[in-house]
């Protein structure tokens, strides 16, 4: 598909809708008491209900209803006072009952939206519905897993694990918007504590409905569905590939076929899985073994009152209350635990912007290298308070503060102690700095002449040389001031 790049992609507009499956963080399954723990021995977390034995009766896990409703409230949905479950019939070895219990014509949440920010612009993505359903089991093919045999196995530990399906409106217009939408949902789900958002383990995954149309055209093009995308990267790449593939089909005079496609992450392409003719006819009908769900208004009000401060509100508050740039506020609030850690440090007296930088730069770097977040290291909010004071009183420079913070994350030693041990005391003695400045000027007479002649940007060079000579200990502001004095 190399020649796709040459096509005038700008003539087209993509229309994308996502169906996100989020596994709920309950201890037990949706219709029985079996554990939902990930990674156990196959078929050790099953019972007659989730094995689909004849004569058993499902009972709704109330927690799943509560989690779904909380998600609906947090995404501005209308919560249905009356909803019910439905049977979705299809035959597959990982589905012992021959049907999946889901919701169909009367879902629990409808008509919501979330806000995303792409290229500095805020956009609302509509949510059509959120419903509850049970997960299916898992087929393990011996040949695919390298066993070389002809057998397939079925692990039913996952059968009956509670899922929320969050269906968006076709409001998304680019792969970037799709990724931002997915990230926003993940953040909200994690804030609510209803899903761990672990995409590697499959607890958050999505199917993307993708179509293209000529820019300005009102009617939708024919859509395809790309199944089972389980990372932000794959969501972006698979959608981008699919948009270009469809444009190429149209530009070559062909027609896009309505079909289900699979993303092959190794080859970076989508491949046809089944066409519309082969599509399932699910023959939905109301689930007779479960009573309809009637949501009591008082219970709903209590759930609403128990919602935590949500990421969008927290982000706006961080800007107004702490004077942080939007960018900082957005990053800090993308994880609730990070936001709480920041706020705890600032409440105890740490400098907001410095703290934000330390978390976003040094903290995130540390997390990338060691796999643990700043608040999981021995570094406590109070350490950031001490560090703020050391910087504000010019005892240490910003550069020194950075190396101190790494050491605190490693050892948990108070910053003052590290300063003493390492001799990390900033030089603020004028005569000592002046001597260093004079030495540097003497070593670089040509540069100094150019500096004097008006080449102002050379000040950076001189400051750098002085810092080098003093091993980073000189107070940079004083170095700057002294250099300017030397001009006259
Ligand atoms: Zn069970």
Q: Are 28 and 34 in contact (CB under 8 A)?
A: yes
Question: How far is the centre of ligand 1, averaged over its atoms, from the C-alpha of 155 (Å)?
Answer: 13
413 and 465 housed in the same domain: no
Token pair recorded at residue 424 = 């990390």
97: CA distance to ligand 1 center in Å?
A: 13
Burial class for 296, CB neighbours closer than 10 Å (0-12, 13-18, 19+): exposed
Closest CA to 211 of 220, 198, 202: 220
Query: CA-to-CA distance for 207 and 72, rounded, in angstroms?
Result: 20
Say if CB 22 and CB 195 are below 8 A apart: yes
pLDDT tens for 384-429 read 999 999 888 877 888 889 989 999 999 999 998 888 887 777 777 7
229 and 330 assigned to the same domain:
no
CB neighbourhood size of 228 (10 A)? 15
Q: Are residues 19 and 107 in the same domain?
A: yes
Counting residues of the chain whose pLDDT is more than 70, the rounded percentage is: 95
Cα distance between the two ends of the chain: 65
Quote the ligand 1 centre to 30 CA distance (angstroms): 9
Whether residue 321 lies inside any domain: the answer is yes
Could you tell me if residue 448 is inside a domain? yes
Decide: 121 and 115 in contact? Cβ < 8 Å: no
CB 12 within 8 A of CB 182: no
Looking at the structure, tell me whether residues 215 and 328 fall in a common domain.
Answer: no
Contact 103, 86 (CB under 8 A): yes
In this structure, the answer to whether residues 64 and 201 fall within a common structural domain is: yes
Same domain, 36 and 168: yes
Secondary structure (H, E, C), the chain? CHHHHHCCHHHEEEEEEEEEEEECCCCECCCCCCECCCCCCCCCCCCCCCCCCCCCCCCCCHHHHHHHHHHHHHCCCEECCEECCEEEECCCCCCCCCEEEECCCCCCEEEEEEEEEECCEEEEEEEEEEEEEECCCEEEECCCCCCCCCCEEEECCCCCCEEEEEEECCCECCHHHHHHHHHHHHHHHHHHCCCCCCCCCCCEEEEEEEEEEECCCCCCCCCEEEEEECCHHHHHHHHHHHHHHHHHHHHCCCCCCCEEEEEECCCCEEEEEEEHHHCCCCCCEECCCCCCEECCHHHHHHHHHCCCCCHHHHHHHHHHHHCCCHHHHHHHCCCHHHHHHHHHHHHCCCCHHHHHHHHHHHHHHHHHHHCCCHHHCCCCHHHHHHHHHHHHCCCCCHHHHHHHHHHHHHHCCCHHHHHHHHCCCCECCHHHHHHHHHHHHHHCHHHHHHHHCCCCCHHHHHHHHHHHHCCCCECHHHHHHHHHHHCC
Average pLDDT, the chain: 91
- Regarding whether 78 and 194 lie in a shared domain, the answer is yes
pLDDT at 145: 60
Distance CA 379, CA 410 (A): 8
Domain boundary among 299, 318, 338: 299
Domain assignment present for residue 49? The answer is: yes
List the domain range (segments joined by +) for residue 19: 4-299
Q: Are residue 219 and residue 189 in the same domain, yes or no?
A: yes
Question: How far does residue 133's CA lie from ligand 1's centre (Å)?
Answer: 15
Distance 313 CA to ligand 1 centre (A): 39
Distance 51 CA to ligand 1 centre (A): 7
Cα separation, 106 vs 108, whole angstroms: 7
| CA dist 26 → 13, 267, 416, 478, 488 (Å) | 40, 36, 44, 58, 72
- 83, part of any domain: yes
As averages over each run of 10 residues, the pLDDT of the chain (488 residues) reads 60 96 98 94 96 95 97 97 95 92 96 92 96 94 69 93 98 97 97 95 94 94 94 96 95 93 93 76 93 95 95 95 94 95 96 96 95 94 94 82 92 90 75 87 90 85 85 80 79
Ligand 1 centroid – CA 48 distance (Å) = 6
Rounded CA-CA distance 355/367 in Å is: 16
130 CA to middle of ligand 1, Å?
24
How far, in Å, CA of 263 to CA of 245, rounded?
A: 13
User: End of a domain among 396, 422, 448?
Assistant: 422
Is the domain of 74 the same as that of 161?
Answer: yes
Sequence-ordered list of residues with C-beta below 8 angstroms from that of 274, at least 6 positions apart, any chain: 259, 260
If you measure from the C-alpha of residue 101 to the centroid of ligand 1, how many angstroms do you get, rounded to a whole number?
14
In whole angstroms, give the CA distance from residue 277 to residue 263. 21
Residue 184, phi then psi, degrees to nearest 5: -65, -45
Whether residue 319 sits in one domain with residue 219: no
Q: Is 454 left (phi over 0), alpha (psi -120 to 50) or beta?
A: left
pLDDT tens, position by position, 260-300: 999 999 999 999 987 766 667 889 999 999 999 999 999 99
Name the phi and psi angles at 191, rounded to 5: -60, -40
**437, part of any domain:** yes
What are the structure tokens assigned to 453, written together?
């002649």
Q: How far is CA 73 from CA 183, 307, 432, in A?
A: 18, 8, 62
Residues 344, 356: Cα–Cα separation, whole Å:
12
Number of domains in the chain: 3
Residue 32 CA to ligand 1 center (angstroms) comes to 5
- Whether 304 maps to a domain, the answer reads no
Gap from CA of 28 to ligand 1 centroid (Å): 8
CA distances from 294 to 29, 67, 111, 262, 450 (A): 21, 16, 18, 38, 80
- Asked if residue 440 and residue 413 are part of one domain, the reply reads no
Q: Are residues 177 and 251 in the same domain?
A: yes
Last residue of a domain, one of 367, 396, 422: 422
Q: How far is the CA of 159 from the centre of ligand 1 (A)?
A: 8
pLDDT score for 2? 47
> Is residue 139 in a domain?
yes
Q: Do 354 and 363 touch, CB atoms closer than 8 A?
A: no
């Amino acid at each position: 598909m190399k020649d796709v790049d040459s096509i005038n992609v700008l003539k087209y507009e993509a229309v994308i809708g996502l169906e996100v499956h989020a596994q709920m963080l309950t201890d037990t399954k949706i219709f029985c008491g079996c554990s939902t723990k990930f990674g156990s021995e196959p078929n050790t977390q099953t019972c007659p209900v989730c094995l689909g034995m004849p004569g058993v009766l499902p009972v709704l896990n109330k927690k799943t209803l509560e989690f779904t409703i909380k998600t609906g409230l947090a995404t501005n949905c209308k919560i249905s006072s009356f909803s019910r479950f439905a049977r979705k019939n299809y035959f597959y070895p990982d589905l012992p009952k021959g049907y999946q219990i889901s919701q169909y014509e009367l879902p629990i949440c409808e008509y919501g939206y979330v806000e995303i920010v792409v290229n500095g612009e805020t956009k609302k993505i509509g949510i059509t519905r959120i419903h509850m359903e049970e997960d299916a089991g898992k087929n393990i093919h011996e040949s695919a897993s390298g066993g070389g045999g002809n057998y397939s196995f079925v692990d039913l530990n996952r059968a009956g694990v509670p899922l929320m399906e969050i269906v968006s409106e076709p409001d998304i217009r680019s792969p970037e918007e799709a990724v931002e939408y997915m990230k926003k949902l993940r953040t909200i789900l994690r804030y609510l504590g209803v899903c761990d958002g672990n995409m590697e383990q499959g607890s958050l995954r999505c199917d993307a409905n993708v179509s293209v149309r000529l820019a300005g055209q009102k009617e939708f093009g024919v859509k395809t569905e790309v199944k089972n995308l389980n990372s932000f990267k794959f969501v972006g790449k698979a959608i981008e590939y699919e948009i270009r593939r469809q444009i190429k089909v149209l530009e070559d005079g062909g027609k896009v076929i309505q079909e289900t496609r699979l993303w092959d992450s190794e080859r970076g392409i989508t491949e046809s899985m089944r066409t519309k003719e082969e599509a399932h006819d699910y023959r939905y009908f109301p689930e007779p073994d479960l009573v309809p769900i009637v949501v009591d208004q008082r219970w709903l009000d209590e759930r609403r009152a128990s919602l935590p401060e949500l990421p969008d509100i927290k982000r706006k508050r961080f800007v107004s209350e702490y004077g942080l740039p939007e960018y900082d506020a957005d990053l800090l609030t993308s994880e609730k635990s990070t936001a709480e850690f920041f706020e705890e440090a600032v409440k105890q007296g740490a400098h907001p912007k410095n703290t934000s930088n330390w978390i976003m730069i040094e903290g995130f770097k540390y997390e990338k290298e060691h796999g643990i977040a700043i608040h999981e290291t021995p570094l406590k909010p109070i350490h950031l308070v001490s560090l703020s004071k050391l910087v504000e009183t010019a005892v240490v420079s910003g550069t020194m503060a950075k190396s101190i913070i790494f050491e605190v994350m490693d050892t948990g030693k108070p910053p003052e102690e590290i300063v003493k041990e390492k001799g990390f005391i900033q030089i603020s003695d004028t005569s000592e700095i002046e001597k260093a400045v004079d030495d540097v000027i003497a070593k670089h007479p040509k540069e100094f002449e150019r500096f004097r002649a008006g080449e102002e940007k050379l000040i950076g060079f001189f400051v750098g040389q002085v810092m080098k000579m003093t091993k980073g200990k000189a107070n940079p502001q004083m170095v700057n001031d002294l250099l300017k004095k030397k001009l006259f």
